[in-house]
Each structure stands twice: as C-alpha cells, then as structure tokens.
Amino acid sequence: MMISDSGTPGSSNEAMDIARDWIVRLRSKEVTQSELDELARWRAASEHNRRAFALVKMQWDLFKTATTVLEQAEAKQSVNAVKMAVTRRAWLGGALAASVGGVGYFAVRPPLGLWPSVAELNADHRTGVGERRQIDVDAGISIDMNTRTSLASLNQADGARRLELINGEIAVTMAQTAVPRERPLVVVAGAGRVSATRATFNLRSDQDGMSVACLDGTVELACGGKTLTVMARQRVDYAGNVIGRVAAADDRIVAAWRRGLIVFENRPLTQVVAEINRYRRGYIMLANDRIGELSMDATFRLDRIDDAVTKIAELFDLRVRSLPGGLVLLG
C-alpha cells in the first residue's frame, strides 16, 4: 500500500478510505516496521489525516464492543425464557454497562442497532436477526413479525386490543368478521396510533421514523392531534408528531419480506445497504458517501442475504473487505 507522505491533505473521503485500509492492515497483524513508519508519516502529515484515523479506529472499537455485547445478549436469551425478565435487567446492568463504559445511553439507543435496547429486551414478542414469526393475537387476527422486531401487549381500554410496536416491522391480517367496529385493533408505534377493524396492513418502526401501508380495507392513523384515514394501496410515513404525504403502496415491494424477498426499485445504495443490514448479523459499511449515492434495482432472497454483498460488489465494481464480527467494508 503506497501512501503519499506529503503535507497536502486530501479530501475527507480519501482520508477515510486510507484510514480504513490502515485499520484493516493493522488488525491483520501482518504489518512490518517500515509500514508502521509509513503510517506514522501519513498521520503526521496533516490534522485531517489524524482525525480520519482516530474516527475509523473508534468505529472499529465500537464494532468489537457491539459484537461482544450482542453475543452475550443472545446467549442469555437462549438460557431460560422464564428467567428472561430478570436476566435482561442483570445483563443490561452488568455486561452492557461494563462493555460500553457504563454509558446508559447505549442501553436505550444502541449505536447502529447492533444490540437490543432495554425496551426491546422486555417486549412480549421478539424476533432475532433474520427471523420471521407469526403470532395470533385474537380470533381472526394474525401478525407476521419481520426480522429484529419487538412487540408488546398493552392494557386494553374501551374493549380495544392494544399493542405497541417497539421496533421492527409487522404485517397485520384481519378476517372480515374479526373485530367489531366498536372494538378495533390498536397498534401504537412512536407518537402515532394505528387502528383498524377489517384490514390488512404493514407497519414499520425504525430510527428513521414510522411507516404504515394499507394493503386491504382501511386503517386510521392518529398522530400529533390529527387523524388520517389510509385507504387500500396507500401508505404514509410519520416521524415525531408530523405526518407525511399519502403515497401509493406497492404490495409487491411492501409485502415482499413475507415471501422471503426484499425488492429495491431505483433505491440509493445507502438505503439498500441499510435494509440488508436488518437481515444479517454484523454490519455492512460503505467506504464513502459517493458510493452510497449510486442507485439500483434488485431482488434478493432473505435466506441467502449474504449473496447480496457479492452481487452489489460485482454490479458496481466494488472491493469487499470482510472483517471479524461480520463487519464488511464495500468500496
């Protein structure tokens, strides 16, 4: 790896690319003294370079921590379901706090979603990475849970069946005679509340906000003091107390995960990679923002999700660097 030791700093993306290459080389433990000297010269060449190297090293350390914590969480989950309410809290207070320096913020908002939050761990129903599950919540009402989904039962009020989508994605199917109109199914997600009596709809909650798509029947979305009726083949996004515009819902794309697929149409690579990350262990990172702006159309099988990395790399002529902990760098 030849790196200029001139004092002229390159662009931010170039410095980050070079820093990532060095981190990969250092972690491989195949570095000579001359290469270490070369790294020292590069870092000393500019403050730009020093900051890029420090940032990439911090990201790497975070991934190592996240991998350890995630493994501990999964191990504890598989021990005894009856003891989960206690072990969740013990793990969060011990292993998580120790692994991330006792910063409780990470227990509430895990970086990059690499381990479950407190609320997710205490959910009544939860799916792991790449897992899908169907549950029956009432007569004539079934819910399909997508990967990394947490769902909690809430106290019923006014005869309504109430659930909370803490994180993830669900598809609700209601029979025509499932629920009397005076007793709707209510699903809380973020600051919004979705209710329906006879409908098939998809509801998603993640760090970017919430999205509800009605595939059959009608649903009502209440958020920020406003109520909106979402008709069949319509979808609407909302974040905080703000409801977005109603748009067309394509069942072929929205419900693809229920058929074991994910479908992308003219989506930027940043969004494609973010979606793929939901279904696989570890994390895929793009080497720079320029790559993320590339758009693509693709359909991937969820049971062979790692094939997506290879296909993306081939399509855009990208280099794939696989690192411990399931970390993959594309660039």
Arithmetic mean of pLDDT, 167-182: 80
Buried b (16+ CB within 10 A) or exposed e, 257-268: beeeebbbeebe
Q: How many domains does the chain have?
A: 3
Give the distance, in angstroms, between the CA of residue 308 and the centroid of all CA atoms in the same chain. Answer: 16
CATH number where 167 lies: 2.60.120.1440
pLDDT of residue 83: 41
The rounded distance, in Å, linking the Cα atoms of 308 and 324 is 19
Query: What is the pTM (predicted TM-score) of this model?
Result: 0.69
CATH number where 299 lies: 3.55.50.30
- For residue 18, what are the domain limits? 1-122
pLDDT of residue 68: 59
Q: Does residue 146 share a domain with residue 43?
A: no
Q: What's the pLDDT tens digit per position in 58-75?
A: 767 666 665 555 555 555
pLDDT of residue 121: 61
For 315, the token pair is 């399509």
Domain boundary among 252, 283, 308: 252
Write phi, then psi, for 255 (nearest 5 degrees).
Answer: -100, 10
Arithmetic mean of pLDDT, 269-288: 91
Q: pLDDT-based confidence at 98, cuts 50/70/90?
A: very low
CB 116 within 8 A of CB 147: no
More confidently predicted of 110 and 251: 251
Q: Which of 111-120, 152-161, 237-246 has the lowest mean pLDDT?
A: 111-120
Rounded to 5°, the CA angle 236-240-199 comes to 35
pLDDT of residue 199: 94
More confidently predicted of 115 and 265: 265
